[in-house]
Amino acid sequence: MKFKDINLRTEIQFALDEMGYEELSPVQEKTFLAIIEHRDIVVMAETGSGKTGACGIPLIQLVDETVNEIQVLVLVPTRELALQFVAELMSIAQYTNIAPVAVYGGVSMDMQRRKLKQGKHLLVATPGRLIDLLHTGDIDFRNLRTFVLDEADEMLNMGFIEDVEFIMSCILIEHQTLLFSATMPREVDHIIRKYLHDPIRIELNKEQIAPSSLVHQFMYIRSPGARESILKDFLRDRSRYRQVLIFFNSRYKGEQFYKSIRRSIPKSEYLHGGMEQETRTYIFNDFKSGELPILMATDVAGRGLDFSNVSHVINFDFPKTEIVYTHRTGRAGRMGRQGTAISFVTGYDLQTCRAVIEQNGITPQWLGKAPPLSEIRPPHQKRHHTGVGHSGSGRHFVRHGTRRAG
């Protein structure tokens, strides 16, 4: 279906034409009418499926420009997601008088108060800063029509469940609720049952959580210390990737690797949650534009961010859960583009690796000799010795490495 066929406002259609939006993605086709009809919906879809536009376009269509009050509230887990979401809304609404605003921690609250006074039809917020502004009386929900909970699984995984429930309890007026999530853990289901009214449930790629355009490659590393030299060899060969995002489980480990390559491998940066917001935003924008080819990061960059130029995601440290794996690797292979995820697997990661492969419906490609995952019992069962000591060291990484993505 084409956007021109759904009778959008002329100003919105003109903006979409300029943005190069012609065809609705599957998630947009399935949600558009339900949102316009003011139904509660629950959308479970792969990362990179067009969820931001899926709710942003119809909600801007419904906003009343003459009422300068918050009509739509979008709650997201991180500052980067808030900036990304509000940028998308601003692009869609650029030829209207509709004002999208973002509020998040790490910057002056006084500056955000001034923006709210200028215009605030759609508000994108992180939980902490939104609660601060609720307590000071700078915002209210008297005219709220729609509440959007984006990246719901990551929101709750980060420990925001009490904040989310407090915010939802502050919305006293009857309203529509849209919930978007890549996965559906028990805590998300609790929110749905408690706060949503007869929601339409839309599950896309139910058996394939990971993007279908994403190639999943794994490398068993017998000695964890070998990862650094293997990764450095890969990064030095710029012909192997267009843009690469590398994940670490700890800030310290990422810092150590960044220090070891920043002189020998130019145009690389490191992004983590402890940085000043101005620096984080600068690095984020540089990477998003494609100017920066290499970004190392903690999971602050693994939650819903849309980096359209990323060809490769590399898990230097294997993700701690299947959900984290889904969100990290979903930074590549977005919107049907070709992408490659490469994960280093040490002996400590084998059980989690098996769970990731099974629960995400992945067809793995092993670089070098694969460990005997079939002999590893699921994590909830008693652990036995697996005898994985004879696997390869991963030296085939550069020679037999990744398929060049799109």
Q: At what angle do helices 51-62 and 10-19 cross, to 10 degrees?
A: 160
Residues 30, 89, single domain; the answer is yes
The domain boundary, picked from 203, 237, 261, lies at 203
If one counts the domains in the chain, the total is 2
167, 168, 171, 176 alpha-carbon torsion, rounded to 10°: 140
Answer yes or no: is 404 within a domain. Answer: no
Query: CA–CA separation, 301 vs 287, rounded Å?
Result: 11
Rounded CA-CA distance 272/340 in Å is 23
Q: Which among 378, 249, 262 has a CA at the least distance from the CA of 314?
A: 249
Q: Are strands 146-149 and 72-75 parallel, antiparallel or unpaired?
A: parallel
The verdict on 178 and 297 lying in the same domain is no
The answer to whether position 187 is within a domain reads: yes
CATH number at residue 265: 3.40.50.300
**Would residue 198 count as lying in a domain?**
yes
266 & 189 share domain: no
Written as one letter, the residue type at 372 is P
In a domain, 169, yes or no: yes
Radius of gyration of the chain (CA): 22
* Residue-level pLDDT, tens digit, the chain, 406 residues: 889 888 899 999 999 999 988 888 888 888 999 999 999 999 987 655 677 888 899 999 999 999 999 999 999 988 888 988 999 999 999 999 999 999 998 888 999 999 898 888 999 999 999 999 999 999 999 999 999 999 888 888 778 889 999 999 999 999 999 999 877 888 889 899 999 999 999 987 554 445 567 899 999 998 888 999 999 999 999 889 999 999 999 989 999 999 999 888 888 999 887 888 788 888 888 888 888 999 999 887 655 566 778 899 999 999 988 878 887 888 786 655 788 999 999 999 999 999 999 888 888 999 988 887 766 555 444 344 333 333 333 434 443 333 333 3
* Residue numbers of the domain that contains 260: 214-375
Question: What angle in degrees, to the nearest 10, is found between the helix axes of 127-135 and 161-169?
Answer: 40
Number of H helices, E strands in the chain: 14, 14
**One domain, residues 316 and 199:** no
Going by their DSSP bridges, the two strands 294-297 and 268-271 should be labelled as parallel
**DSSP string computed for 100-129:** EEEE-TTS-HHHHHHHHHH--SEEEE-HHH
Asked if 361 and 236 sit in the same domain, the reply is: yes
Q: Which residues contact 325 (CB under 8 A, 6 or more apart)?
A: 315, 319, 343, 356, 360
Residues 6+ apart with CB under 8 A from 110: none
Among 221, 214, 243, smallest CA distance to 397 is for 221
Note whether 52 and 182 are same-domain residues: yes
pTM of the model: 0.67
Element (H, E) at 192: helix 186-195
